[in-house]
Structure 1
Amino acid sequence: MTLSVALQHQFSGFTLDAAFEAPEGVTALFGRSGSGKSTLVNAVAGLLRPDKGRITLDGSVLLDTGLGRMLPPHRRRMGYVFQDGRLFPHLTARQNLAYGRWFAPKGQGAEMGRIVDLLGIEPLLDRRPGALSGGEKQRVAIGRAILSNPRLLLMDEPLAALDEARKAEILPYLERLRDEVRLPILYVSHSVAEVARLATTVILMEAGRVTASGPATELLADPAIAPAMGLREAGSMILARVAGPEEDGLTRLETGGGPVFLPDVGAAPGGTLRLRILAQDVMLATERPRGISALNVLAATVEEIRLGEGPGAMVRLRLGEEHLLARITRRSVRLLDLRPGTKVFAVLKTVSVGRENVGTAT
């Protein structure tokens, strides 16, 4: 199922002029606050009529201003999860879920028990929203949206109002939603960590325009967009197969550049994980290092070097079929005589990949 969006809209002091296509999976609209992400999602939902535009979902026309056609929100079959959940305060979690199910076409929709199990909300069913934590409210809100049997799930920064502990609690449920329900999702976020954990496609927005788009693995490893992501947050996402636990409590993972050892990740051997590796945590060497404490030394090839405006540089490395970013200094580039095609070793500390940067893969 493909979502195609092309629209223009003028606000006071701000112009939205954006076009993109979102394939199946989780498409993340990423950008700073005020870049137009929520406006785009509201237009897809039918909550905003743009000045000009066309929106189609799997060939079905939702909006075409040229033809004077705008399908009302209730006929678009969209599930919408807002920042604050927006549960009905006088209803229990069970009743909120049943409200979502009421909108599903007769005889269609997910089975409530399955969604309750998927989101881990069985113990919450008889509580009202006032007795739920922020993360619990969001899980119920997600369940309500899914039970309406939407063609597309819209999520507008659903974790933005949560603290780090609550985000860590809910992210695994979002991964399960992506991997098990396989419902197309348009996900708004300004968090690189969330995008790296969840997205299969990334749409980068700035000042009302789409500046880059593509598969998450490729876009996140593109040195050209590192400044837009924020240099401290810039990094890449690689896939790793779980080989198994080690005797000292570490888990061995296999990547295209060699083994990676991380503290116990709680995943079964044979499974595949997403690893988000910050560019600033990667060191480079032209010879395999010896006598160092870092356990992770990956064989790689320099593919691209992008010099920054200051003393820094961003280097894109190839690890088998994937890419890794390293943020080093211009001086290091010169001293190591780095250039495209140079064989190097990427050095990564075991403790530099935190649990929040390890997710499941589809």
Structure 2
Amino acid sequence: MTIEVDVALHREKGFRLEVAFTAGAGLTALFGRSGSGKTTVIDLIAGLTLPQRGRIAIDGTVLLDTARGIRVPVHRRRIGCVFQEARLLPHLSVRQNLGFGRLFSRGPDGPAFGTVVDLLGLAALLERRPAGLSGGERQRVAIGRALLARPRLLLMDEPLSALDEARKREILPYIERLRDEAGLPIVYVSHAVAEVARLASTVVVLEEGRVAGQGPVDAVLRRPDLIPDGSEAGSVLAVTVAGHDAEAGLTRLAGTGGADREGLRLDVPLLALPVGRRLNLRVPARDVLLATQAPQALSARNVLPGRVASLREEGTACLAEIACGGTTLLARLTRASARDLGLTTGQPVFAIVKSVALDAGLVPGGGGRLEI
């Protein structure tokens, strides 16, 4: 499934949007500061707004082509939308709200009611009214209603922004399941680095109505110039839960995509996740230390041998990309430290991962950071 977007919109108050990108399967995050044009792009794809110029196609089916006079109306686009607020019908039960999505079903096939209920964990909620649901539960029902309309694309416009941290932790695993199991491409709007790192396959960064950068999540989030807060730049590692040591209180994570035979190995405090579970692990650059010799008598459990793949200066800091375990870690250090270490491209080093910013939803009842 391929999504093609190339649109231009100029508004009277001076806002100009000119955005072009192509996305594939999985979850594509539209990422950027508030006012960068993310929601406007969602409205254009859904057909809620008409651009001065543009072409939008899903898997070869043209929904909009201003040059050819094509504009498929909203109700025929087969696009599901989930907004910041769930917008459920308050007088209907959860079962009836879900059934409401079926009224707008236009696809030749799609998930069965029971499949959606199981995917989103809604079985215990079916006879309840929206007023008796938590914010996270209401959003899960809104997602289910959108899925039961049998869309070919799901648009999610900051669906977690109105939720507190506890409710975000509640719903994130369901969005992961949706991404991995529903077989439906998702375009997801967010300005939160942690959400994007955890959920996205591809990231499109918007800045003042333009595409500032796009690509795989791990490549984009290593670039401070593409992140509103440059200090949040870091690596996104695709890992799998390889095993648990309950006595030691540790979980072993293994890299999933490296060519390195040994692969990446990380120990973290014990996680309540099954062996084989895949997840994205975000490692901020500020949490990686470098040494030119193997450190001795160190409390950190994760000391990873690697080589300097690149060096670049960012103001008073230096960013070093370290190739290790078949993946790339980003380390942020001062220019003085880089000089004192004599860092050069290709040099063998040891990366010491002192902490990992795992989303709090991966740690039952825990905070967002794990010291490892």
What range describes the TM-score normalised by the shorter chain of this pair? Answer: over 0.9
Give the TM-score taking structure 2 as reference length: 0.91
The one-letter code matched in structure 2 to 1:286 is T
**Map of 1:125 onto structure 2:** 126
Structure 1, residues 246-270: CA drift from partner, whole Å, max 9, x if none? 1311011223664211112223334
Moved more, 24-33 or 121-130: 121-130
Secondary structure at the aligned position of 1:67 is classed as coil
Whether the 8 Å contact between 1:281 and 1:348 is mirrored in structure 2 is yes
Q: Distance in 1 between matches of 2:359 and 2:197?
A: 13
Return structure 1 stretches of 4+ with deviation > 4 angstroms: none
Q: Distance in 2 between matches of 1:51 and 1:342?
A: 52
**Map of 2:352 onto structure 1:** 347
**In the alignment, does 2:291 pair up with 1:285?**
yes
Shift of 1:33: 0.4
**Map of 1:160 onto structure 2:** 161
Structure 1, residues 56-107: CA drift from partner, whole Å, max 9, x if none? 1111111111122211000000000000011111211111100001222376
Whether the 8 Å contact between 2:139 and 2:159 is mirrored in structure 1 is yes
**Map of 2:92 onto structure 1:** 91
**In the alignment, does 2:356 pair up with 1:356?**
no
Unaligned runs of 5+ in 1: none
Report the aligned-residue RMSD.
1.7
Shift of 1:229: 4.0
Q: Which residues of 2 match residues 17-32 of structure 1 at below 5 A?
A: 17-32=18-33
Whether the 8 Å contact between 1:54 and 1:64 is mirrored in structure 2 is yes
Q: Which residues of 2 match residues 31-46 of structure 1 at below 5 A?
A: 31-46=32-47
Structure 1, residues 120-165: CA drift from partner, whole Å, max 9, x if none? 1112111221111111110000000011000000000000111111
Shift of 1:45: 0.2
**In the alignment, does 2:14 pair up with 1:9?**
no
Secondary structure at the aligned position of 2:230 is classed as coil
The one-letter code matched in structure 2 to 1:24 is A
Secondary structure at the aligned position of 1:232 is classed as helix
Cα pair distance change 1:105/1:9, threshold 3 Å: closer
Whether the 8 Å contact between 1:81 and 1:154 is mirrored in structure 2 is yes
Q: Distance in 2 between matches of 1:331 and 1:91?
A: 64
Q: Distance in 2 between matches of 1:160 and 1:98?
A: 26
**Map of 1:259 onto structure 2:** 265
Cα pair distance change 1:106/1:217, threshold 3 Å: closer
Whether the 8 Å contact between 1:245 and 1:264 is mirrored in structure 2 is yes
Q: Distance in 1 between matches of 2:360 and 2:284?
A: 12
Q: Distance in 1 between matches of 2:347 and 2:147?
A: 49
Give the TM-score taking structure 1 as reference length: 0.94
Structure 1, residues 32-74: CA drift from partner, whole Å, max 9, x if none? 0000010011000000000111111111111111122211000
Identity of aligned residues (%): 53
Unaligned runs of 5+ in 2: 364-372
Aligned length: 355
Q: Distance in 2 between matches of 1:176 and 1:34?
A: 30
The one-letter code matched in structure 2 to 1:348 is V
The one-letter code matched in structure 2 to 1:342 is Q
**Map of 1:242 onto structure 2:** 241
Whether the 8 Å contact between 1:82 and 1:157 is mirrored in structure 2 is yes
Q: Which residues of 2 match residues 124-143 of structure 1 at below 5 A?
A: 124-143=125-144
Whether the 8 Å contact between 2:199 and 2:280 is mirrored in structure 1 is no
**In the alignment, does 2:152 pair up with 1:151?**
yes
